[in-house]
Structure 1
């Protein structure tokens, strides 16, 4: 391997260990991972769950499009739901992708030519059948 390629691989290894932080392995056998959300207490956790459920009720009820009157607090705290989504958003992983794209710039003309060739091959294969 060239020295430049070795340096790129070492950079990717370093970035991977610092940037891949959203998912954590739970069990290597099943390839299961966990993602963490942070809440202040059980009450906030309950609020998150209730708001997610109310949001789902509204999403399922196309005609009524509102939380049923039998639910005590009918308003949906969309900000709370979006806050959870932001906690789960893998920003570090996007930083890694950005660094990889800098290390390995794409030649767009070559990529377009390869796609065109692949499409021609696929068309040729399907027309011969």
Structure 2
């Protein structure tokens, strides 16, 4: 392996340690990961799950103008659902993609220069 390839590999490993934070490996299973959401307590967790379910019910039953009266507190707080979605966005990993894109773009440009010079 060339010196530049080794350096690139080492840099990639450093970047992956720094940025791969959203998914945590499940200790008792291979190829399985968890993504964490943060809530204050069980009540907030239940509230968020309830809002997600209500939103899904409305999405599936498009003819229903509102949630069934059998569901206690039929109002939907879409903001709480969106907060969970925002927590699950892998922002650190997206930063890694930008860093790696810059590295590989530079490597690609260097390779193109070398190829052009040889011709």
Following superposition, the deviation at residue 3 of structure 1 comes to 2.4
Q: Is the 8 A contact 1:59 1:65 kept in 2?
A: no
Which residue of structure 1 aligns with residue 48 of structure 2? 48
Distance 1:8 1:65 in 2: 56
> If the length of structure 1 is used for normalisation, what is the TM-score?
0.76
| Greater shift in the superposed pair: 78-87 or 29-38 | 29-38
For structure 1, which runs of at least 5 residues remain unmatched after alignment? 108-129
User: Does residue 10 of structure 1 match 2:10?
Assistant: yes
The number of equivalent residue pairs is 108
Which residue of structure 2 aligns with residue 20 of structure 1? 20
Alignment of 1:20-39 (within 5 A): 20-27=20-27, 29-39=29-39
What RMSD in Å do the two structures reach over aligned CA positions? 1.9
For structure 2, which runs of at least 5 residues remain unmatched after alignment? 110-119
Alpha carbons of 1:70 and 1:33: their partners in 2 closer, same or farther (altered >3 Å)?
A: same
Which residue of structure 2 aligns with residue 82 of structure 1? 82
Structure 1 runs, 4 residues or longer, greater than 3 Å off: 27-30
Q: Kindly provide the CA deviation profile for residues 77-128 of structure 1, in whole angstroms up to 9, marking residues without a partner as x.
A: 1111111111111011111111111111167xxxxxxxxxxxxxxxxxxxxx
> If the length of structure 2 is used for normalisation, what is the TM-score?
0.82
Which residue of structure 2 aligns with residue 110 of structure 1? none
Q: Kindly provide the CA deviation profile for residues 28-67 of structure 1, in whole angstroms up to 9, marking residues without a partner as x.
A: 6531111111100111001011001101110110111421
